[in-house]
Structure 1
Amino acid sequence: MSDPAGSTRQARPSAARARILDTADRLFYREGIRAVGVERVVAESKVTRVTFYRHFPTKDDLIATYLTARSEREREALAEARQALAGDPRAVLRAIVDAIVAESRAPGFRGCPYVNASAEYADPDHPVRHAVAQHRTWFTGQIVELMAELGHPEPELAAQQMMMLRDGALTGAYLDDRERMAAALIAAGRAIIAYRED
């Protein structure tokens, strides 16, 4: 099995590669990763098989890059929020909760892409699971930092509680009533974030 991070890191940015990734992102999230074959991605990306395999030697490479690209977008958004709200960790945490609510209300919402991918790949050593684990480690670490800045006495525990809320809210919003789940997430998130008001 090839190394997705290594192979995609060396790939040159190109319009064809961007089309492949955009197509994979849309199809994988909407229909499931295993349900979408390489031929479908090639056809809908309007590239040749040679072009596809030049950028992504295996489907695993494409899947890991799809998840990494989603993670990078989240990292950029959170970095912008932390910069805009510098010095106010409670406001950043509230912005994170608001972003989760907005995601659950978006058209075509189908739950958490990382949870969905993990459900399709049970092997913890698979590159897909590694990409998911890297994202979750980063995100949890960000929450720990923010909780510590807030002065929370147990930032690691609070971060785990926030992760449970996130996972549960995104799953519940897909399976149940979105607005009810959004209200529950906001209330529970505030209870963790506002353990004490300054």
Structure 2
Amino acid sequence: MQNNFEIVNMLTLRAKKIWLNRLAEMREKNLNPYDGHDTVGAITLDKQGSMAAATSTSGLFMKKAGRIGDSPLSGSGFYVDSEIGGAAATGLGEDIMKGCLSYEIVRLMGEGKSPQQACDQAVYPFIEKLKKRYGKAGEFSLVAMNHNGEWGVATNVEFTFSVGNETKAPRILMANPGPDHTTSIAPITQEWLDAYEKRIKAPIN
């Protein structure tokens, strides 16, 4: 407003229908707000070696008023140190915050771990700790990159992410939990991409 930007209602008819349908689902199927969430996280490295990490989230869908998730909290939703690397998280913020996972991944990279080793070492033992303490762990995924441009990812769900640089075109990859605290990573298939596009463009009744 101070810079004369036009004030626009960002709520689309499609989004409103999705919200109304979820309200009905919550009443009829006794769903709770934790049955759906999403965050976009990004880590960048420029030609001068400066790094940045960022998150963008609509927050937990149907969340209670006043809830604050991990996304705006440095060390939880994101963390970066240009001399080491950065990390960003998506998923259930209440659980991610219990481990300060983005900071932990950067700390491990600072000890000499590769981004993939740091992600695996930070995320999977923490998932087991949550399950032991609370009987369950929320869904979450983390991406990381070090100051050399090497990257890593860890997740406890099926998780898609994208990587690219000045020499390699951006590509979409799929990560899944692997055996023995590791992460399985493979390119997405055209079949998966077609199904995804069909799903997000499907009419909302």
TM-score by length of 2: 0.28
Greater fraction of residues in strand:
2
TM-score by length of 1: 0.29
> Taking CA–CA contacts closer than 8 Å with sequence separation of 6 or more, which of the two structures ends up with the larger relative contact order?
1
Greater fraction of residues in helix:
1
